[in-house]
Amino acid sequence: MTDDRVSPRWVHWRETVNLEEYHLRWQRMEQQGTASHGEADFIEGYQPDGVLDAGCGMGRVAIELHHRGVAVEGTDLDADLLAYARADAPQIPWHHADLTDMQLSRRFGLIAMPGNVMIFCRVDHRRPIVATLAAHLASDGLLVAGFSLDQGDDALTLAGGAALMLVWAGIVESFLSQYHGPQMYPWKIAFGVLQLAVLAGYLIFCGRDPDLGEQRGPARV
């Protein structure tokens, strides 16, 4: 799906993943007993009074919770993914809805967003999504969200910036070292300040969100 309700990150995932193969891979893992159900384990531990799997996709987590006797429903904006969920577990209520303005008829003891749902949402949609989900929670309900923080990319960015600065500093210092005297001190200080400014600019640029050009980090809600 490529409409303006989804992020470029999600569009890229949908364009590069074969849904049938993706679905079969999880089925094979389930049959072989190698599927991981850490999300379901975590959610079940709260003994919730009704669960909504928000951004349920093909229903992997919701279906596992249903097998454990948890009353669960699922919702997703992607009709293609929901088709797999409905085919695998027609007894579960599945809702085709946008999380930014979803209106269901009940509240839930726990709403789960496993599997990087939030980082696949548009940055400017995250605040209204959290508000919508909060409106569907019971008074003592919980919102549980799991997502990656791209820590690997951040480490590579920092290492690359440091290496770039070291190489540049070595080149310029080898040139400035030929000159001595108080008259060179301001130039060396200015060069050091310039180095720090370039490094800061590099890290800020590389830390921008690939969806909307905003800096990565926890969404403020």
Model pLDDT for residues 178-196, shown as the tens digit of each residue: 666 666 667 767 776 776 7
Distances (CA, A) of 82 to 25, 96, 104, 187: 17, 7, 17, 63
Parse the chain into domains and list their residue ranges: 8-143, 151-206
CA-based nearest residue to 123, from 217, 14, 24 = 217
CA-based nearest residue to 87, from 159, 19, 36 = 19
Compute how many other C-beta atoms are within 10 angstroms of the C-beta atom of residue 46.
14
Q: What is the pLDDT of residues 22-48, one digit of tens each?
A: 999 988 888 888 777 889 999 999 999
* pTM confidence score: 0.68
CATH superfamily of 8-143: Vaccinia Virus protein VP39 (3.40.50.150)
